[in-house]
Chains A and B, each alone.
Chain A
Amino acid sequence: MTLSKDQMAARVARDIAHGAYVNLGIGQPTLVADHLGAESGVVLHTENGMLNMGRAAVGDEVDQDLVNAGKIPVVEPPGAAYFHSADSFAMMRGSHLDVCVLGAFQVSAAGDLANWHTEAPDAIPAVGGAMDLAIGAKSVFVMMTLFAKDGTAKLVPECTYPLTGVGCVSRVYTDLAVFELGGGTDGRDVAVVETFGTSYDELAQRLAVPLRRAHDRG
C-alpha cells in the first residue's frame, strides 16, 4: 500500500532522534508533530521565535500573540522559550537545529531543493524561512508525493524550478518510498531505503535518477 499523508508523517517521525531540536515546515510537514509524543523528547522550533512550541490552540486557548510559522495559533507548554527573529535564524545557521522537515516541488539526486517558486506567470514569489532552514539545519528531510498530479517525478536528476538550497537534502520521504541522498562517488546516487506499494524495479523504471538499493552500500 502507498502511504497516506498521515502515514508519511509517522514514517518521518520514526527517523527523528530522541531529544532532537526540530523545525517543521508549513503545510504537510506540520503533521509530523502528531507523531512526536512527549516520550520522543523532541523540542519543536518555530522560526517566528519559539522553542518547545505546543500543539494548535483550540477555543479559549487562542491567543493572537502566540502563533506558529503558518500563523496558526498554538499553545505554550511548560519549558517554552521565546526569542527574536535574528536569534531564531542564528539558531539555524549556527548549526544548533538538528532536523528540519520541508515540503518540495522538486529534489535533485544531489540533494538540491526547489520549494519556493514555480515561476508560473501569475505567481507571486515568497520564500519565508525556507532558504535559511535548507542550509542551516544539520539534517534536511523532505516530505512530498513522489509524483506531481500530472505524473511527472519530483525526484529528478536536476531541478528545473528555482533552487532553495544546493545539496542540502539528506532524506526524501514520499508516498511510494523513502530515499537517502548524497551517496556514490559523485554524491549523486539515490539509495532506496524502503518502498510502499511499489518495487525497486518499478521505481527504477519511473525515475530518471540513478538508484541503488540502500543495503548495497559500496
Chain B
Amino acid sequence: MTTICDSAAAAVAGIEDGATVLIGGFGLAGMPIRLIDALIDQGATDLTVVSNNAGNGDTGLAALLAKGRVRKMICSFPRQSDSHVFDGLYREGRIELELVPQGNLAERMRAAGAGIGAFFCPTGVGTPLAEGKETREIDGRTYVLEYPIKGDVALIGGHRADRMGNVVYRKTARNFGPVMATAAATTIVQVREVVEVGELDPEAVVTPGIYVDRVVAV
C-alpha cells in the first residue's frame, strides 16, 4: 500500500545510517532533488549511494556528497565538467568508488527487482571492470557473471502519481526511475502532482503502485 506524504521530510523518515540508497536521475534529469534535500536534513550518514552519476553542480546528490554522508558511490559516470564535489572527495580519498558500466548498473537493479539471483552478461569481457569475476562461454561467446544490486531505499523523481502510487514520468527524466523502483525495500517517489484515482491512463502507467511505498508532491 502506498502512503501519500505531506512533506518530503515525512517521505524520507526512517532512512538508517549505513543504508544503500538508489537515487534516480541522469545528471539532473529525473533527479529527486527535494527528497535528497530532505535526506540531508534527516541526517542519515555512512550511506552507499547507487546513481548513474556522482552529482552535478552543487545541488541534489552533489549536496549530499558535500555533507560527507556518503561512504561509497556505485555509478557509471562520475567524472563530468560539473562533478567538482565528487572529484574533490575522491582525490582526498574520502569516498569509495565502484565503477559499473551503465547497462550493468540498470540490469543489476532490474535483476534485484525481478528476483534473479545473478546473470551472465557480455559487457566488459576482457576489461579491467570484469577482472576477478566468474565467466562462462555460452554458444561460443564469453559472458561475465553479474550480481543484483538491491537497495534499502530508492529515491525517484517522477512526474505524476495517483493515490494508488501509480507513477508516470516525463521524457528522458524516466531513465533509472522505473528500474530502481523495483529494486529497493522502500521506494519513495517525488512527483510534481498527485492526482485522484482514475485520472492516470492505466495504459500509460510506467511504474505500477505495487512498487511504490511513499509519494510526495513537491
| Residues of A close to B175: CB separation below 8 A | 48-49, 84-85
Pick the contact of B101: A64, A82, A112, A129 (CB < 8 A): A129
Size bracket of the B interface: 35 or more
Interface, chain B (partner A; CB < 8 A): 26-30, 52, 56, 76-80, 83, 86-87, 90-91, 97, 99-107, 109-110, 121-129, 159, 169-179, 206
Q: Contacts A76-B171, A84-B179 known; A64 to B29 CB distance under 8 Å?
A: yes
Decide: B171 and A135 in contact? CB cutoff 8 A. Answer: no
Most central of A93, A122, A127 by chain B CB within 10 Å: A127
What's the A-B contact tally at a CB cutoff of 8 Å? Answer: 149
Identify 6 residue pairs between A and B in the complex whose beta-carbon atoms are under 8 Å apart, listed by A's number. A65-B170, A85-B175, A85-B179, A86-B178, A93-B122, A126-B78
Decide: A163 and B127 in contact? CB cutoff 8 A. Answer: yes
Pick the contact of B26: A48, A92, A123, A130 (CB < 8 A): A48
**Shortest beta-carbon distance, B49 to chain A, in Å?**
16
Decide: A64 and B103 in contact? CB cutoff 8 A. Answer: no
Q: How many residues of A contact B (CB 8 A)?
A: 43
Q: A153: CB under 8 A from chain B?
A: no
* Contacts of A130-144 to chain B: CB distance below 8 A: 130-132, 135-136
Pick the contact of A131: B78, B87, B123, B174 (CB < 8 A): B123
Q: How far is the CA of A25 from the CA of B178 in the complex (A)?
A: 24
Interface, chain A (partner B; CB < 8 A): 46-50, 63-68, 71, 76, 82-86, 88-90, 92-93, 112, 117, 122-132, 135-136, 162-166
Decide: A66 and B171 in contact? CB cutoff 8 A. Answer: yes
Q: Contacts A93-B123, A163-B127 known; A82 to B78 CB distance under 8 Å?
A: no
